[in-house]
Each structure stands twice: as C-alpha cells, then as structure tokens.
Structure 1
Amino acid sequence: MLSFVLSRLGSLALSLVVASLVIFAVVQIIPGDPATFMMGLNATPASVETLRKALGLTGSLPVRYLHWVGGMLSGDLGTSYTYRVPVAGLVLQRLQVSLPLTLFALFLSLALALPAGILAAARRGRGADLTVMGFTQLGIAVPNFWFAMLLALLFALKLHWLPAGGFPGWKAGVLPVLRSLTLPAIALALPQAAILARVMRSSLIDTLGQDFIRTARAKGLSSGQAVRRHAVRNALIPVLTILGLQFSFLLAGGIIIENVFYLPGLGRLIFQGITQRDLIVVQSVVMLLVAAVIVVNFVVEIAYALIDPRLRRQA
C-alpha cells in the first residue's frame, strides 16, 4: 500500500507542476502587456509601469514563475487589483460559502443517488426501475438554474420556509447558514444525483452478473444479502470516479447558482475577476481550483485501493 501511495504522490506532484506551468503561460501569452490589459487603453505609462512592478512582470519569465510559485507555497497569492486586498484573504472568505455548499450538495446527492441506483438495479425492468430512470432522465435534462428559480419561487416566495438568497455569515449561527444554503444545495445536488444514480445502477447491474455473486447466492445468501455484502462495494469504483469529478465541479462550477441566490462564493469571485480584468485573482484562484481537482483525484485513487485490493497488487 505504501508503494501505491508514493507512486500516486509522485503523479500528483508532477500534475501540479504541469498545471502551474500551463496557467502561468496562458496569462503570459495574452495579447499585449497584462498590466496594460488590466489598466485599459487610457492608462498613463507611469501607472502601467507601477502595476507591472506590483504584478512582478519586470523580471525574466523563469524568475517570475518561481516567484509566483514560491509565493503560493508560502500562502502569498498576491494582491487583488480590483479589491486592493490580498487574494488569499478573498479566497478564504469565499471558501466559507463555497466549501459548505459543495459538501452539503454532495451529501444530498449521495443520499438520493445511492438508494435510488441500488433500488433500480435490484428491480431491473420493473416499475421501480422505470420510475427511478424516468426521474433521473428528468434531473439530467432540466437546467439547474431553472430548477433553482422554481425552488426559490415555491419555498421562499410562496411558502416562506427558506430564504430566497443571500448569506448571513457564520457569526449568525449554523442554523441560519444551513437555511440559506439549503435551496442552492438542492439545486446543485439533483442533477448530480441523477448522474450518480444512473452510474450506480449500471455498475451494480454489471457486478450482479459476476461469478462471485453467483457463488455467494449458491452458498445460501439471499438476493438482498448478496447485494449488500458483496455487490455494492464492488460497484462503487465508477461512482467514486464521478463523485470526485462532481466535487471539483461543485466547488467552482456553481457560478450560475451562486448568482441566482446571491451567494459570495468562489465561482462568483472568478466571474467577477474575469469581468473586471483582475488577472491576479483569476490566475491564483484557477491554480487553487486545479490543485483541488488533482488532490481530490488522488484521494479517489486511494479510495479505489482501499475498496479493491486488486488495484494495489497491480500497482
């Protein structure tokens, strides 16, 4: 197991280096000078030169890259040109919204998808299977922003059960925060739950056709016992793959949902950085999100090995 983890750590480090090089290069190849791009066409040469120094654009490319990477490793992500505050502080502030929202949505997605997928696979071709597959198809087809607006109209404006938007802050208490995140989390979770349920159903159907399941049934286990004790665990690997991708998507991909519910999260920060031409924010936050994707994939691979020992032996 140790050699498996070490090999994956080496792959993780290499992926981070390549990702940092690509992101740094993309910012550098923007047509024209990045400082001029951020300041606009009417900026004076003195102000452009001042911003170039602040952005660290005065040295050679290798020196600037090492300076940027070294700053990120030490927690210095630079200073936002728009907000005039450290980018690290902005990221930590927005993570207080995006991370709980992501975890909440993932929890709801798993809580809905796993039972639905197992039920559909166990009742394959019957009414329960057709019902679950119908709802999952609907969940995939309906845009989440439209569903978010329906949730706000029903539960916030009509029934007054939950707030329609905004984030009260953690100082207001856990309950108000959970109330403000419930509708966005449901809007994000339902399409992801539909995908997970379909993957779980397909994977479980394939697993139920394996020889070890027939052996377990021949030894006296009932259909339900064979599913619970043997089939579900072996069917989880494709589900973990999708779950890792969904975590990364939910962390940064909820830009529309955050705008619908007026949530100050990471997705909205990237959108504002792009529209306000704040390249420092965009470069640093994108690198952090890419790092989060790589780390989550590393955790998923370790989970693979824990679930299926054959992967450790192959590694």
Structure 2
Amino acid sequence: MMGYLARRLVSLALSLVVASAVIFLVVEVAPGDPASFMLGMNAQSDTVAALRSELGLDLPPVQRYLAWIGGMMTGDFGVSYTYRAPVAQMVAERVQVSLPLALLALGLAVVIALPAGIVAATHRGKAADLGVVGATQLGVAIPNFWFAMLLVLLFALKLRWFSAGGFPGWSDPVMALKSLTLPAVALALPQAAILARVLRSSLIDILSEDFMRTARAKGLSRRQTLWRHGLRAALIPVLTILGLQFSFLLAGAIIIEQVFFLPGLGRLIFQAITQRDLIVVESVTMLLVFAVIAVNFLTDLAYVAADPRLRR
C-alpha cells in the first residue's frame, strides 16, 4: 500500500510540473500585451515600456516562470495587473462561491443518480428501467445553461421562490444556500444523468457475475446481495465519473456563473482573459489543475478502498 501511495505521489508531482510549464507557455504565446491593453491603444511607447517593467513583463520568460512557480510554492500567487490586488485574496473570495456550488451540485447529482441507477439495473427491461433510461437521455441532451434559464423563469420570475441571480455572501448562510440552489440544480441535472447511466451499466454487469449467484446460494436475499456485494463492486466506474464531475463542476461552471451572476472562479478566469490579466489566468488555472489532479489522486485511493485487489 505504501509503495502504491509513493508512486501516485510521484506521478502527482510530475503532472503538476508538466501542467505548470504548459500553462505558462500557452499564456505566453497568446496574442496581446497586458500593458498595452491597460493603457489603451493611444499610449506612448515609453509609458508602455515603463508599465511592462513595473509588472515584470520585460524579464526573460524562464526567470518569470521560475519566479511564478517559486511564489506559488510559498503561497504568493502574485498581484493582479488589473485590480492591483493579491491573486490569493481574489481566489479566496471566489472559491467561497465555486466550492460550495460544486459540492452542492455533486451532492444533488449523487442523490438523484444512485436510486435511479439502482432501480434501472434491478428492473432491467421493465417500465422503471425504460423510464430511467429515457430521463437520463433527456438530462444529457438538455444544455445546462438553457435549463438554468428555465429555472430562473419558473422559480425566480414567476413563483418568486428564489432570486434570479447574485450572491449575498455567507453572513446569512440560509440566503447564501438559497442563492446557490438553482445554479446547483442546473449543474446537477446532466451530471446525475451521466452518473445514473454509468451505475446502471456497471450494476447490470455485476449482477450477472458468479460471486453474486454464490451469495444468493448462501441464503442472502436479493436486496442483501445487492447492497453487500453488488453495489460495492460497481463503484469503480462510478468513482471515476464522480472525480471527473467534481473537477468539471469546480472549474467548468463558467456559463452557469454568468447566467446567475455568481462571483466564482469560472467568472474570474473569464474576466481575467478578456482583460489580459495574465498572472490571474496562470495562477487560477494552475490552482484548478492542482484541484483536478488532487481529486484524481483521492479517487485512486477510493479505488483501493472499494477494491482491495488494486493494492497489488
């Protein structure tokens, strides 16, 4: 087990090094100069040069890359070109929206998908199975931003149960969770559909295995066999999807954050790209990459917990 853990940690570190180099190179070759963008098209060349020197943009790329990586390792993510505020402070403010939103959406997806997948697998070919399969196809096909707008029209504008957008902050937890409910539902629908389909397919394969028939032959009921043996064996592909979904929900909810005017990480990256705020783009993207790699690492550990054979 310790050898497996050491190998995964080495792989995690190498992935972070490669990812940091790729992110820096991609941002470097992107067109546009932050200093020229900040000063406008009519700025004098000497003024642009002075601002580039102040921002450190005139240094060699290798030196800027090493300074950026060294700062991130010590918790210094740099200072935003546009807002002149520490990037770490901006990320800390935005993650208070994105992380609870991702966790809430993932929790809703699991609550919807697990019973749906189990019902569909245990009633294969019957009306319940056909209903779940049809609902999941609809959930995958509907764009989440379109579904989000429908939720706003119904629950915010017509019924007035929720606000149409914005985030009041965590000073009032009830209002904060209420403002995240509609975005979380919009994000959870397609993820729940995917998760339910994966669980259904995995359980159908597991239910036909020899060890399941052996468990039934030993006197266990169908329900006991399913919960004690079948569901645990079917969790490997489900855990893979959960890890990918959490990474997507944390980093890929840009459109939903725009629909509901949520000040999250996705919206921060979108604004930084339009404003050519390179240090924000690099640092936030690197943090999101780290989150994705860390989630995948924890998913691998969950594999081992679910199936001890993988320790070898």
Give the conservation status (yes or no) of the 8 Å contact 2:80–2:86. Answer: yes
Partner of 1:195 in structure 2? 194
Partner of 1:175 in structure 2? 174
CA distance in 1, matches of 2:126, 2:230: 20
How far has the Cα of 1:290 moved from its partner?
0.9
Question: Structure 2: which amino acid aligns with 1:295?
Answer: A
Partner of 2:23 in structure 1? 23
How far has the Cα of 1:44 moved from its partner?
2.4
Partner of 1:231 in structure 2? 230
CA distance in 2, matches of 1:96, 1:238: 30
Relative to structure 1, the CA distance from residue 32 to residue 137 in structure 2 (aligned partners, 3 Å threshold; closer, same or farther) is: closer
Aligned residue for 2:234, secondary structure, equals helix
Q: Would you say 1:132 and 2:129 are equivalent positions?
A: no
CA RMSD of aligned residues (A): 1.5
Q: Deviations over 1:166-193 (max 9, x none)?
A: 100011x211111100010000001100
CA distance in 1, matches of 2:38, 2:29: 14
Partner of 1:143 in structure 2? 143
Q: Would you say 1:57 and 2:50 are equivalent positions?
A: no
TM-score, length of structure 1 as denominator length: 0.95
CA distance in 2, matches of 1:31, 1:261: 30
Partner of 1:268 in structure 2? 267
How far has the Cα of 1:118 moved from its partner?
0.8
Q: Would you say 1:75 and 2:75 are equivalent positions?
A: yes
Deviates more, 1:21-30 or 1:52-61: 52-61
CA distance in 1, matches of 2:205, 2:186: 30
Relative to structure 1, the CA distance from residue 124 to residue 54 in structure 2 (aligned partners, 3 Å threshold; closer, same or farther) is: farther
Question: Structure 2: which amino acid aligns with 1:101?
Answer: L
Relative to structure 1, the CA distance from residue 65 to residue 209 in structure 2 (aligned partners, 3 Å threshold; closer, same or farther) is: same
Aligned residue for 1:212, secondary structure, equals helix
TM-score, length of structure 2 as denominator length: 0.96
How far has the Cα of 1:22 moved from its partner?
0.6
Q: Which runs of 5+ in 2 are unaligned?
A: none
Give the conservation status (yes or no) of the 8 Å contact 1:28–1:34. Answer: no
Deviates more, 1:46-55 or 1:77-86: 46-55
CA distance in 2, matches of 1:162, 1:63: 50
Give the conservation status (yes or no) of the 8 Å contact 1:166–1:180. Answer: yes
The count of aligned residue pairs is 312
CA distance in 1, matches of 2:192, 2:278: 34
Give the conservation status (yes or no) of the 8 Å contact 1:105–1:185. Answer: yes
Relative to structure 1, the CA distance from residue 55 to residue 297 in structure 2 (aligned partners, 3 Å threshold; closer, same or farther) is: farther
Question: Structure 1: which amino acid aligns with 2:122?
Answer: A
Aligned residue for 1:178, secondary structure, equals helix
How far has the Cα of 1:52 moved from its partner?
2.5
Question: Structure 2: which amino acid aligns with 1:7?
Answer: R
Aligned residue for 1:75, secondary structure, equals coil
Q: Deviations over 1:17-75 (max 9, x none)?
A: 00001111112223575644665543322332233234433333332211110111112
Question: Structure 2: which amino acid aligns with 1:310?
Answer: R
Q: Deviations over 1:231-271 (max 9, x none)?
A: 10110111111111111111121111111111111111111
Deviates more, 1:155-164 or 1:292-301: 155-164
Q: Which runs of 5+ in 1 are unaligned?
A: none
CA distance in 2, matches of 1:271, 1:34: 15
Partner of 1:45 in structure 2? 45
Question: Structure 1: which amino acid aligns with 2:229?
Answer: H
CA distance in 1, matches of 2:154, 2:195: 26
Q: Percent same amino acid at aligned positions?
A: 69
